[in-house]
Structure 1
Amino acid sequence: MRIILTGASGFVGRAVLQVLSSTADLAVIIPLRTPMRAMPDGVLSYPIHDLTDDQSAQFAVHRPDVVVHCASRVHIMSDKSADPLAEFRRVNVDGTLALARAASDAGARRFIFVSSIKVNGEETQPGRPYRSDDEPKPIDPYGISKLEAERGLLAHGAATGMEIVIIRPVLVYGHGVRANFLNMMRWLDRGVPLPFAAIRNKRSLVALGNLVDLIVTCVDHPAAAGQVFLVSDGDDLSTPDLLQRMASALNKPARLLPIPSWMLDAGAKLLGKGALSRRLCGSLQVDISSTQERLGWQPPLGVDDALRATARSYQEDVRK
């Protein structure tokens, strides 16, 4: 089987590449903007300038059976673009649909799209986790662009017969994680007191290894065709629970202060950090029962094992 994998130098794509390139009977081809320092044996690559490049000629040469599309313009906390939605649409919608057309023209039978839970929305109410068949309610330009890409892909699949598989991850953590999760580990590692002991929320997370396992499962699982899958570790945590378990993984104490959530929220809004406050204090849960039942899939990594592995990789990076 021949697979074209986009985003192979990114956080998720790099981990997918490691698994696919070590799987027998798979030939992996990756488009790259810059050369990779350590290319796995047997992997082919070709140069691109941008995700929106016309890749029809390359697809015609390599004739993939499956495309795994991990590349995107990612969510940016403080986007300085004059028109953020237009920029997200250019890459995440136009680029994705151009890839899909190149794939179907080249005879690909399946297109796997790594989307985002932001298609569903930003926050859930107690006891009401997001489901894959809920009406999408994206709020920010990133989520809107991902939904538009999903709808364009499903329409293209219906017109051409190419199987579309959509995966919506929640927050992904693991080796190489950046942004807020990395900051959280730094705070805990340095013993910084954190004002989250009184938070009573629930959030779904997904370990990188669990997400990669689902993506690889969807490469050839017959029941994946035409489906939308939500993915998490299946073990939702409150913010203080996550901090305590991450601190334990780092072998550090968690110094948590009981500041009321309304006070945290008010302070965050005054500082222009309302979105960050929502992530730390609000709930966002997903129901993965449909994913599990349709694919016969279970997350292979438990939360504590995944947090320990993330802590080890962080500590190794710090020592370098």
Structure 2
Amino acid sequence: MKKIAITGATGFVGTNLEKYLKRSYKVRTLSVRYVHDQIFNITDDIIIHLAGKAHDLKKVSNPQEYYESNFELTKQLFDAFIVSKADVFIFMSTVKAVADKIDGVLTEEDLPNPQTHYGIAKRQAEEYILGKEISKEKRVFIIRPCMIHGPGNKGNLNLLYNVVKKRIPYPLAAFQNERSFLGIDNFNFMILKILENKNIASGVYNFADDEVLSTNELVQIISETLNKKNLSLAIPKSIINGIAKFGDLVKFPLNSETIQKLTENYRVSNQNIKNAIGVDKLPNTAQQGLEQTIKSFSKK
């Protein structure tokens, strides 16, 4: 039985992936953190590198932490992989290593232009991996997931969930957008397929659900899942933008950044990974995955 080592296994994604893969593989957690000049000794067959510093929405982190955790640590681990007998290395990057804002649909062919320390550090790790020669017996995958959610992790859905639960009208219904999400079950499924099929070539792959959803549709899904009436309000955009400018001055929750995050487009294509693993559709639709996640919130 193949042996897998997962870094970052105590996090939301790692915990779920470890449980999922244990059905078919011998899985262990590999605790890692950046230390200058450290050398890892890899004895497993497969390395899934999830560990790293997540994007800090509150913007209080030291920028250097991103480069040490997401770039330098990845270099050390990948160097150890190259000289080891392990034959698969999976690095979890992010779509933010390519772009913070997207006009069309993000594909693997788009030229990376990250704008945050988080995205830049992840992109530096990608470039390091892609710049190394590897033997024909090894496969290396860089995966770029969009926002991952699932039972046990509210993430960016927390704000909207609380708005609906507390019966606060969602005021941005006048804005129309399309966003990609990624349910944890679909994430696990794609990772397993990569491991099972040795004919899948090394490369960079976007991870996302098949469908895109608007924030208005997301509010409707949350409302229906909670059996509550959708109280969304289509307040004119000019008024909302005025409130946002005021919010920027007085540090009100409804500010320009919040509105942008809730109303911007961020569509991600998953066609390349589906072609590679040989499926037309992923196991769960975007709505099914979100419903599972939202139902888990109310159980707490």
Aligned structure 1 segments of 4 or more residues deviating by more than 6 angstroms: none
Aligned match for 1:242, one of 195, 218, 242: 218
Contact 2:82 2:134 in 1 (8 A): no
Cα deviations by residue, 1:166-224 (Å, 9 ceiling, x for unpaired): 11111112112233212221221121111121111111111111111112222243343
Contact 1:165 1:224 in 2 (8 A): no
Contact 1:188 1:254 in 2 (8 A): yes
Contact 1:174 1:208 in 2 (8 A): yes
Which residue pairs with 2:261 in the alignment? 279
TM-score (structure 2 length as normaliser): 0.89
TM-score (structure 1 length as normaliser): 0.84
Contact 2:149 2:155 in 1 (8 A): no
Unaligned runs of 5+ in 1: 33-47
Contact 2:179 2:265 in 1 (8 A): yes
Which residue pairs with 2:192 in the alignment? 216
Q: Aligned to 1:248, what secondary structure does the other structure show?
A: helix
Distance in 1, Cα, partners of 2:240 & 2:57 = 19
Identity fraction in percent: 26
CA-atom RMSD in angstroms: 2.0
Distance in 1, Cα, partners of 2:21 & 2:290 = 23
More helix by share: 1
Which residue pairs with 2:29 in the alignment? 30
Report the number of matched residues: 290
Could you tell me how far 1:106 is from its partner in structure 2?
Answer: 2.3
Matched AA of 2:10: S
**Does the alignment pair 1:106 with 2:84?**
yes
Distance in 1, Cα, partners of 2:34 & 2:10 = 13
Could you tell me how far 1:262 is from its partner in structure 2?
Answer: 4.8
Q: Aligned to 1:222, what secondary structure does the other structure show?
A: coil
Cα deviations by residue, 1:69-125 (Å, 9 ceiling, x for unpaired): 1111000012223x51x2211110000111111222221111101111112212222
Which residue pairs with 2:293 in the alignment? 310
Aligned match for 1:87, one of 57, 61, 65: 65
Could you tell me how far 1:263 is from its partner in structure 2?
Answer: 4.1
Matched AA of 1:30: T
Which residue pairs with 2:252 in the alignment? none
Which residue pairs with 1:56 in the alignment? 40
Cα deviations by residue, 1:40-68 (Å, 9 ceiling, x for unpaired): xxxxxxxx5x25584624x2xxx111111
Q: Aligned to 1:92, what secondary structure does the other structure show?
A: helix
Distance in 2, Cα, partners of 1:276 & 1:215 = 32
Seen in structure 2, the aligned counterparts of structure 1 residues 55 and 243 have a Cα distance that, compared at 3 Å, is farther
Cα deviations by residue, 1:240-282 (Å, 9 ceiling, x for unpaired): 1111012111222221111234543453354344433222111
Contact 2:94 2:145 in 1 (8 A): yes
Cα deviations by residue, 1:143-172 (Å, 9 ceiling, x for unpaired): 11111111111223x255542101111111
Matched AA of 2:182: V
Cα deviations by residue, 1:271-301 (Å, 9 ceiling, x for unpaired): 3444332221110001222221122133111
Q: Aligned to 2:156, what secondary structure does the other structure show?
A: helix
Seen in structure 2, the aligned counterparts of structure 1 residues 96 and 17 have a Cα distance that, compared at 3 Å, is same
Q: Aligned to 1:224, what secondary structure does the other structure show?
A: coil
Contact 1:16 1:216 in 2 (8 A): no
Seen in structure 2, the aligned counterparts of structure 1 residues 73 and 262 have a Cα distance that, compared at 3 Å, is farther
Unaligned runs of 5+ in 2: 249-254
Matched AA of 1:56: F
Matched AA of 1:279: K
Matched AA of 1:69: H
Could you tell me how far 1:226 is from its partner in structure 2?
Answer: 2.1
